[in-house]
Amino acid sequence: MTELRFIHKWSSEQHATTKGWLWRWSRRVYEKTPAHARTSDQSENIIFIHTRRLLALLALTLVMAYASLAVTAWWWFHRRLGENVTLIDAAWPPRWAGLVQARTDALFTQGFTALQEHRFGDAARLLEAGLRRAPERNDARLALATIFGTFHEYGRAFAQLDQAFAHPPVSSALLATAFTVSFTAEDFVRALAYAQKILDAQPPASPDLTRLARQNKIRALTALGRSDEAVAAAALLAAEPDPTSLVCRIDALRSHRQFAAALALAHAAQTRFPAHLAVLDIACRTARDASNPAELRSFLAAAITAQPNVPAPRQTAVLEWWQAGDTAQSQSALDAFLLRFDSDPDFVYRLSTAATAIGATTIVERLYQHEAALGLPTNRLAANLVEAHIINGDLVGLRRTRPLLPALAATKDPVLQLWPPLVQAIFQVVDDAPLSSGPPLQSLVRRLGLVPTSYTRFIDLLLNAQRPAAACALLDQALAAYPTSASLQKVAPAARAALAAATADRDRVPAPSIAPVLDAPEFFARGDDLLSSGQFTALARLIAEQRRANPDWLAQRSGDVAWLELRLALATHDELAARRLGQLYLNGDQERLERAIAFAARLPVRDAADQRALLTDAILRHHPEAQARLIEAGLIKVPVPSAE
């Protein structure tokens, strides 16, 4: 039999067979006596356990286990929450509540770090998680609104801004961002609402916030066409001495067509702030709207005199004279600009970008040619030239930019790389060509992240090219991103009406399966007229229709048709088509060779240098023996013999 006994201390009476620190064991053997007759065992095992020492050991074990758990928890929290979590925070229960706040702070810290490292997706995810724990953090909402605004997700940006206004106080940075996002999205009603919230706040907002709200209230009212209210609101800024307030007051008077008062205030503002570009811009715009070139000249001269070595006033002069319709003055201002600043590519690019925004193609093209002549980088200028033609809806000019596209495709700039497939997609839509490669036009435009005014330019281009279905598809895409845009709402009725008219015409008059057959003289006469007038899309359609109709003369005149197609490919700068058609046309026939050489020699050197190069390359590719003939015609230079 075994017996377990708990004792408080050891004593000599405990005859133990073995002795230990925590427990002892004793064995007793009994003789057969009447006292032990009732038991069958003749021995007894007794285990003595020291109670105090057992409790001490258990306590020590618990302490060590708790310490291990605390260290493990601290290591885990430290890795995820940062250095703000200490070992005491993990070990001391009264401080456990602070770990929840530490987790929240860590989400915000990690989110802002990701934002600084331009990991915008991670930043948005972390900041949104932090806001679910601490919705009052307006700094995080400001960052999220900035991220969403940058990527044109205006619905999500406005959701964050609305929540921020619901958790005062509102900082000046938050208010400025709210106005920036609203005006970029052309949501002028929302901008007006944000301004009114600040002006109606109780207790009143700070003077800086109040001034900012009044300035942007005037901007919103002016954009909404409520000029009477804008002038009334501008009167409240009369005591404000800063240039932005003066600009808002001038703009309100200009929108109300109070040109005399606006010009007088503009002169006073320029006298006080001669180097402020926004003051110069609104002064010049007022002079243009008032049809007062003398005032425009005065404002520009004063700005250039105040800053003779700064490019901005001279850039403004180039653009303002162009917008005023005085091309001679604009070119003179451009000469003066290039004389001083043509060696700085950044200055030239800024002027090119500003000219692109207003569709000043002649200025953009001259800047491109000037920088190319100096041997300076021109890829950004080439992209601006492409965009300027799109803004103006100039398909002929856009076709002329095709030789510039391979260089843009070869750059490492992802934005510049978008332009070649975009131009290809535009002409696939315009020319009714099947999509051969690359994403369609809508997908490419979405990747550009355009603002509403840029969308309207693409829509106008497609409408001018009589492609209302594509224009309306692009319009729907734009309205999904900018549902309140004034410029999109303005162009929408025309696009919808054009699509409805095209649909009605299609349903009312079924298209013939085969176009009317033309005889050969009529076909070539019409083709030459379309080519000389730059109606390249109509010419391509005419050729395709006659090929489908397959008149009797087509097989006999296939060479002449190929010659017409080759000239079309040269005029549209389609290098691949020019090579293919050159191979088809230049089949060894000497008469065809002479016709091609004569045509290349007649092409103007400056305006069609790329056409000459394409045709000359095709001639040399299929008639290398014609090199001497090309040299004689002045189409290629005499090869320089290598010195060995």
Of 48, 73, 92, the position where a domain reaches its end is 92
d(CA 524, CA 331): 41
* Angle formed at CA 604 by CA 601 and CA 607, multiple of 5 degrees: 145
501 & 529 share domain: no
Q: Collapsing DSSP states into helix, strand and coil, what is residue 380? A: helix
Using one digit for the tens of pLDDT, what is the confidence trace for 43-69?
Answer: 667 777 777 777 888 888 888 887 888
Q: Is pLDDT at 329 greater than 90 in this prediction?
A: yes
Q: How far apart are the first and last CA of the chain?
A: 116
Q: Give φ, ψ of 55 to 5 degrees.
A: -65, -40
Q: Binning pLDDT at 50, 70 and 90, where does residue 607 land?
A: very low
In a domain? residue 325: no
Is 76 in the same domain as 47? yes
Decide if 620 is inside a domain.
yes
Mean pLDDT value across residues 312-340: 95
Please report whether residue 200 resides in a domain. Answer: no
> What DSSP string runs through 21-61?
SSEEEEEEE----GGGTT-S-SEEEEEEEEHHHHHHHHHHH
| Residue 199: inside a domain | no
Amino acid at 134: A
Q: What is the pLDDT of residue 95?
A: 60
Distance, CA of 325 to chain centre:
31
- Whether residues 540 and 477 share a domain: the answer is no
Inter-residue contact 141 to 174 (CB < 8 Å):
yes
Total residues found in the chain within this entry: 644
* Residue type present at position 637: K
Same domain, 500 and 531: no
Q: Which of 434, 395, 381, 310 is nearest to 572 (CA)?
A: 395
Q: For position 395, what pLDDT does the model report?
A: 84
Q: What is the average pLDDT score of the chain?
A: 83
Kindly report, residue by residue over 385-408, the tens digit of the pLDDT. 999 999 888 888 888 888 899 999
* Residue 357 pLDDT > 80: yes
Give 286-308 pLDDT, tens digit per residue.
999 999 999 999 999 999 999 99
User: pLDDT of 70-90, one tens digit each?
Assistant: 787 766 666 666 666 666 666
Domain final position from 480, 507, 534: 507
Q: Is residue 566 part of a domain?
A: yes
At which residue do the structure tokens 């958790």 appear? 167
Lowest mean pLDDT among 231-245, 362-376, 429-443, 456-470: 429-443
Residues 541 and 479 in one domain: no
Rounded percentage of the chain residues whose pLDDT exceeds 90 = 39
Residue 438's pLDDT is 54
pLDDT for residue 79: 63
Given a contact cutoff of 8 angstroms between Cβ atoms, the answer to whether 309 and 338 are in contact is: no
Tens-place pLDDT, residues 517-532: 788 888 888 888 888 8
Q: What is the pLDDT of residues 10-42, one digit of tens each?
A: 555 455 556 666 666 666 555 555 555 555 556
User: Is 177 a domain residue?
Assistant: no
Tell whether 536 and 624 lie within a shared domain. Answer: yes
Residue holding tokens 């050159």?
Answer: 582
Domain encompassing residue 530:
522-632
Instruction: Tell me the average pLDDT across 353-378.
Output: 93
Instruction: Quick: pLDDT tens for 118-157.
Output: 899 999 999 999 999 889 899 999 999 999 998 888 889 9
Whether residue 215 is contained in a domain is answered as no
Statement to judge: residues 422 and 491 lie in one domain: yes
User: Is there a single domain that holds both residue 552 and residue 605?
Assistant: yes
Buried residues in 371-403 as b, exposed as e (16+ CB within 10 A): beeeeeebebbbbbbbbbbbbbbbbebbbbbbe
Residue 346 clears pLDDT 50, i.e. is over it: yes
Give the end of a domain, one of 63, 92, 121. 92
Q: Give phi and psi for 92, each to the nearest 5.
A: -100, 110
Q: What is the pLDDT of residue 599?
A: 76
Report the share of the chain in percent with pLDDT over 70. Answer: 82
For residues 503 and 550, state if they share a domain.
Answer: no
Q: Which long-range contacts (CB under 8 A, 24 or more apart) does 337-343 make?
A: 337/311, 338/370, 340/309, 340/311, 340/314, 341/311, 341/314, 342/370, 342/371, 342/374, 343/374
Q: 609 and 528 share a domain? A: yes
The pLDDT of residue 97 is: 57
Q: Structural domain tally of the chain?
A: 3
Please tell me whether residues 486 and 422 are part of one structural domain: yes
> Is the residue at 589 inside a domain?
yes
Same domain flag for 460 and 532: no
Beta bridge partners of 541: none
pLDDT digits 0-9 by tens, 472-516: 988 998 888 888 888 898 899 999 998 888 887 766 655 455 556
